[in-house]
Chains A and B, each alone.
Chain A
Amino acid sequence: MKIIGAPRRRVDGRAKVTGQTRFADDLMLPRMVHCKLLRSTIPHARVVRVDVSRALAHPGVHLVLTGRDFPVSYGILPVSQDEHALAIDRVRFVGDPVAAVVARDELTAFEALDLIDVEYEPLRTFSDPEESLACPEPRIHEYGDAGNIHKLVSLRFGDVDQAFADADRVFEDTFFYQGNTHLPIEQHAAVAARDPDGKLVLWSSTQTPHYVHRALAKALAMPAAHIRVIATPNGGGFGGKSDPFNHEVVVAKAALLLDRPVKICLTREEVFHCHRGRHPVLMQFKTGVKRDGTITGMHVMTLLDGGAYGSYGVASTFYTGALQTVTYHIPAYHFQGCRVFTNKPPCGPKRGHGTPQSRFGQEIQLDKIAEGLSIDPAELRLRIVEQPDTLTANYLRVGTIGLAECIRRVTHIADWANTFGKLPLGRGVGLACSSYLSGAGLAIYWNDMPHSGVQLKLDRSGGVTAFCGATEIGQGSDDVLVGCVAEVLGIEPIDIRAVTGDTDLTPVDLGSYSSRVTLMMGNAAIQAAERARDLLAGAVSRKLTVPKDRLVFADRRVFDAGDPAAGVSFAEAVCLAETMHGTIGTTGSYTPPRSAARFKGGGVGPSPTYSYSAAIVEVDVDVSSGWIHVPRVWIAHDIGRSLNPTLVRGQVEGSVYMAVGEALMEEQIFRRLPARLSHALVHKFPSMLEYKSPTTLDMPEVITELVENPDPRGPFGAKEVGQGPLLPVMPAVANAVYDAIGVRIDEVPITPEKILRALDAKAAGKAPRVGPARFPDISWPEPLDVPPPWKSGDGKAEVRSRKSEVGSERSEVVGTDAGARRLQPSGDRS
Chain B
Amino acid sequence: MMRLPCFRFHAPRTVREAAELLASTPGAMLVAGGTDLLPNMKRRQQVPGTLVGLRRVAELRTITRGATLSGSPANDDELTIGAGVTLTELVRDGRIRQGYGALWQAAAQIATPHLRNMGTLGGNLCLDTRCNYYDQNYEWRKAIDFCMKKDGGTCWVATSSPTCLAVSSTDTAPALLALGARVTIVSADASRQLAVSDLYRNDGIHYLTKQPAEVLTAVHLPPLDGWRSTYWKLRRRGSFDFPVLSVAAAAKIRADGTVEAARIVLGAVASRPIEVPAAAAALAGRRITDELIATAATLAARPAKPMDNTDFTLLWRKRVTRDFVTYALRELRGDDVRELRHRVSRMLL
Binding site for B on A (CB under 8 A): 39, 41-42, 94, 105-107, 110, 187, 265, 267, 269, 620, 622, 624-627, 629, 665, 671, 673-674, 677-678, 680, 682-687, 689-690, 692, 694-698, 751-753, 756
Cα distance, A180 to B324, chains bound together (Å): 30
Contact across chains for A674 and B159 when beta carbons are under 8 A apart: yes
Contact across chains for A94 and B154 when beta carbons are under 8 A apart: no
Contact across chains for A682 and B238 when beta carbons are under 8 A apart: no
Kindly provide the distance from the CB of A2 to the nearest chain B CB, expressed in whole angstroms: 41
Contact across chains for B143 and A680 when beta carbons are under 8 A apart: yes
A-B contact pairs, 19 of them (CB 8 A): A41-B142, A42-B143, A106-B3, A107-B4, A267-B137, A269-B136, A269-B139, A677-B159, A678-B144, A684-B132, A689-B241, A690-B311, A695-B240, A697-B237, A698-B238, A752-B316, A753-B312, A753-B315, A753-B316
Cα distance, A686 to B137, chains bound together (Å): 9
Kindly provide the distance from the CB of B69 to the nearest chain A CB, expressed in whole angstroms: 33
- Secondary structure at chain B's binding surface: helix, strand, loop or mixed? loop
Contact across chains for A269 and B132 when beta carbons are under 8 A apart: no
Kindly provide the distance from the CB of A285 to the nearest chain B CB, expressed in whole angstroms: 28
Cα distance, A695 to B139, chains bound together (Å): 28
In the complex, chain B residues whose CB is within 8 Å of the CB of A680: 143-145
In the complex, chain B residues whose CB is within 8 Å of the CB of A625: 319-320, 323
Cα distance, A624 to B325, chains bound together (Å): 13
Cα distance, A678 to B4, chains bound together (Å): 29
Whether, in the assembled complex, B211 has its beta carbon less than 8 Å from a beta carbon of chain A, the answer is no
Cα distance, A694 to B239, chains bound together (Å): 9
A626, A678, A684, A689: the one within 8 Å of B316 (CB): A626
Kindly provide the distance from the CB of A699 to the nearest chain B CB, expressed in whole angstroms: 9
- Residue on B nearest A40 in the bound complex, by CB: B143
- Residue on A nearest B342 in the bound complex, by CB: A629
In the complex, chain B residues whose CB is within 8 Å of the CB of A187: 1
Contact across chains for A697 and B347 when beta carbons are under 8 A apart: yes
Cα distance, A671 to B156, chains bound together (Å): 11
Cα distance, A39 to B139, chains bound together (Å): 8
Whether, in the assembled complex, B343 has its beta carbon less than 8 Å from a beta carbon of chain A, the answer is yes
Contact across chains for B143 and A41 when beta carbons are under 8 A apart: yes
In the complex, chain A residues whose CB is within 8 Å of the CB of B140: 94, 269, 682-683, 686
Whether, in the assembled complex, B161 has its beta carbon less than 8 Å from a beta carbon of chain A, the answer is no
Cα distance, A686 to B236, chains bound together (Å): 17
B1-36 near A? 1/0 per residue, CB < 8 Å: 111111000000000000000000000000000000
Given known pairs A41-B142, A756-B316, the reply for A692 and B3 (CB within 8 Å) is: no
Kindly provide the distance from the CB of B243 to the nearest chain A CB, expressed in whole angstroms: 13
B283-319 near A? 1/0 per residue, CB < 8 Å: 0000000000000000000000000000111011001
- Residue on A nearest B345 in the bound complex, by CB: A697
Given known pairs A39-B139, A41-B142, the reply for A627 and B132 (CB within 8 Å) is: no
- Residue on B nearest A107 in the bound complex, by CB: B3
Contact across chains for A673 and B144 when beta carbons are under 8 A apart: yes
Kindly provide the distance from the CB of B348 to the nearest chain A CB, expressed in whole angstroms: 11
Kindly provide the distance from the CB of B233 to the nearest chain A CB, expressed in whole angstroms: 13
In the complex, chain A residues whose CB is within 8 Å of the CB of B239: 695-697
Ranked nearest first, the 10 interchain pairs of A and B with the lowest CB-CB distance are A697-B238, A753-B316, A41-B143, A107-B3, A697-B346, A695-B239, A625-B323, A680-B144, A625-B320, A692-B236
Contact across chains for A665 and B236 when beta carbons are under 8 A apart: yes
In the complex, chain A residues whose CB is within 8 Å of the CB of B4: 107
Kindly provide the distance from the CB of A581 to the nearest chain B CB, expressed in whole angstroms: 52
Whether, in the assembled complex, B195 has its beta carbon less than 8 Å from a beta carbon of chain A, the answer is no
By CB atoms of chain A within 10 A, which of B2, B6, B135, B315 has the most? B2
Kindly provide the distance from the CB of B34 to the nearest chain A CB, expressed in whole angstroms: 16
B234-253 near A? 1/0 per residue, CB < 8 Å: 00111111000000000000
Whether, in the assembled complex, B205 has its beta carbon less than 8 Å from a beta carbon of chain A, the answer is no
In the complex, chain B residues whose CB is within 8 Å of the CB of A677: 154, 159
Cα distance, A267 to B39, chains bound together (Å): 13
In the complex, chain A residues whose CB is within 8 Å of the CB of B145: 678, 680
Kindly provide the distance from the CB of A323 to the nearest chain B CB, expressed in whole angstroms: 31
- Residue on A nearest B133 in the bound complex, by CB: A671
Whether, in the assembled complex, B344 has its beta carbon less than 8 Å from a beta carbon of chain A, the answer is yes
Cα distance, A629 to B339, chains bound together (Å): 12
Contact across chains for B237 and A692 when beta carbons are under 8 A apart: yes
Given known pairs A41-B143, A94-B143, the reply for A695 and B319 (CB within 8 Å) is: no
In the complex, chain A residues whose CB is within 8 Å of the CB of B159: 674, 677
In the complex, chain A residues whose CB is within 8 Å of the CB of B143: 41-42, 94, 680, 682
Cα distance, A625 to B344, chains bound together (Å): 10
A105, A269, A622, A683: the one within 8 Å of B343 (CB): A622
Contact across chains for A269 and B142 when beta carbons are under 8 A apart: no
B2, B238, B241, B313: the one within 8 Å of A753 (CB): B313
Contact across chains for A41 and B139 when beta carbons are under 8 A apart: yes
In the complex, chain B residues whose CB is within 8 Å of the CB of A696: 239
Cα distance, A689 to B35, chains bound together (Å): 13
In the complex, chain A residues whose CB is within 8 Å of the CB of B319: 625, 756
CB-contacts of B40-55 with A (<8 A): none
Cα distance, A231 to B209, chains bound together (Å): 54
Kindly provide the distance from the CB of B314 to the nearest chain A CB, expressed in whole angstroms: 10
Cα distance, A624 to B330, chains bound together (Å): 15
In the complex, chain A residues whose CB is within 8 Å of the CB of B240: 689, 695
In the complex, chain B residues whose CB is within 8 Å of the CB of A685: 132, 136
Contact across chains for A698 and B312 when beta carbons are under 8 A apart: no
Kindly provide the distance from the CB of A625 to the nearest chain B CB, expressed in whole angstroms: 5
Cα distance, A313 to B182, chains bound together (Å): 59
In the complex, chain A residues whose CB is within 8 Å of the CB of B132: 671, 684-685, 690
Cα distance, A695 to B136, chains bound together (Å): 21
Contact across chains for B1 and A265 when beta carbons are under 8 A apart: yes
